[in-house]
Amino acid sequence: MYYLGIDLGGTNAAAGVVNEKFEIVSKYSVPTNAKNGVQAIVSSIAKAAKSAVMEAGLSMDDIESVGIGSPGAIDPINGIVDFAGNLGFDRTPLVKLVGEQLPGKKVFLENDANVAAFAEYMAGAAKGTKDSVTITLGTGVGGGMIINGKIYSGFNNKGGEFGHIVIERDGWQCSCGRRGCWEAYASVTGLIRLTKEQMLTDRNSIMWEIAKGSLDNVNGLTSFDAMRRGDHTAIYVVEKYLRAVATGLIDVINILQPQVLCIGGGISKEGDYLLKPINQIISNEMFSRHSDSCTKVCIAKLGNDAGIVGAALLNRQL
């Protein structure tokens, strides 16, 4: 039997067919067309889904169920996206609308960060555990919790907003309205801000060469690339950024004590340049550092496929 997963984003809707071994056998992506309204998004989802099935050489009769991972505040019980600003969703009954486009198929819905966490639990770096957390370092800081093998998001399905733990009171402004949130410092957005600030204090930094002389060209790799070339200002930027990342991770570990904590998102591609110093800080500062059993912190395994795999397997949450 096969399962269909939809990774819904502000730019693209990606669909994938997943088999019983949790492997993606086909993928298909189309523009989300969010600017054209809810029905256009639903049509994009349906097109991606049907095309992915066709690419796999299957028919919809071969598909056991359909899962959707969507940004925003999600009500998975009632199949509603309470709110997702980038998509124009406001109390949108997405399961019902997609179900009408894919008749006869059971459709499941979850928050995209929870879906990624579930994918890592089922088929990725947290496979074989009962309790795990996946943190995604991207434009913001996303997170999902798996407790006793199930997605946990609180009584109102709004839990897991790890990015809005405050790590510096009255610090940088966060998009949520508070100041000093972890997301403001540990996201790629925060890294870019820090990089630009330090470049302005050091006009001789290699980071200017990498950015071709313009702050407009600074991205999440700029400081890491310059750090590898021995640039002292870049080394400062990377060390300060990694300490901010580690500070939030320690809070998560101290509160939840998961067996595994996976780090995903684009910055996770830095691998050991990210993981080794973070693990050193965590091992020195976390509350359970003297325990024989401590949380394993690792890089998420599934990368960009996590959204599809986790969504496809949402029927396993029953």
Q: Which of the four pLDDT bands, split at 50, 70 and 90, describes residue 139?
A: confident
Please tell me whether residues 95 and 203 are part of one structural domain: no
Give the pLDDT confidence score for residue 86 in this predicted structure.
83
Residue 158 has pLDDT above 90, yes or no: no
Please indicate whether residue 171 or residue 291 has the higher confidence score (pLDDT).
171
Please tell me whether residues 278 and 186 are part of one structural domain: yes
pLDDT in tens, 13-28: 999 999 999 999 999 9
Please tell me whether residues 96 and 133 are part of one structural domain: no
Please tell me whether residues 311 and 260 are part of one structural domain: no
Give the pLDDT confidence score for residue 146 in this predicted structure.
98
Please tell me whether residues 43 and 79 are part of one structural domain: yes
Give the pLDDT confidence score for residue 175 in this predicted structure.
86
CATH of the domain at 44: 3.30.420.40
Residue 276 has pLDDT above 90, yes or no: yes
CB 69 within 8 A of CB 310: yes
What rounded mean pLDDT belongs to the chain? 96
C-alpha–C-alpha distance, residues 284 and 290, integer Å: 9
Please tell me whether residues 72 and 111 are part of one structural domain: yes
Please tell me whether residues 88 and 191 are part of one structural domain: no
Residue 290 has pLDDT above 80, yes or no: yes
Please tell me whether residues 65 and 152 are part of one structural domain: no
pLDDT in tens, 214-237: 999 999 999 999 999 999 999 999
Q: Which region among 27-31, 128-132, 256-260, 290-294 has the lowest average model confidence (pLDDT)? A: 290-294
pLDDT in tens, 108-122: 999 999 999 999 999
Percent over 90 (pLDDT), the chain = 93
pLDDT in tens, 30-87: 999 999 999 999 999 999 999 999 999 999 999 999 999 999 999 999 999 999 988 9
Give the pLDDT confidence score for residue 287 in this predicted structure.
94
Domain count, the chain: 2
Please tell me whether residues 293 and 199 are part of one structural domain: yes
Please tell me whether residues 92 and 44 are part of one structural domain: yes
Write out the residue range of the structural domain in which residue 75 sits.
2-120+305-317
Please tell me whether residues 286 and 310 are part of one structural domain: no
Q: What is the pTM of this model?
A: 0.93
Please tell me whether residues 205 and 92 are part of one structural domain: no
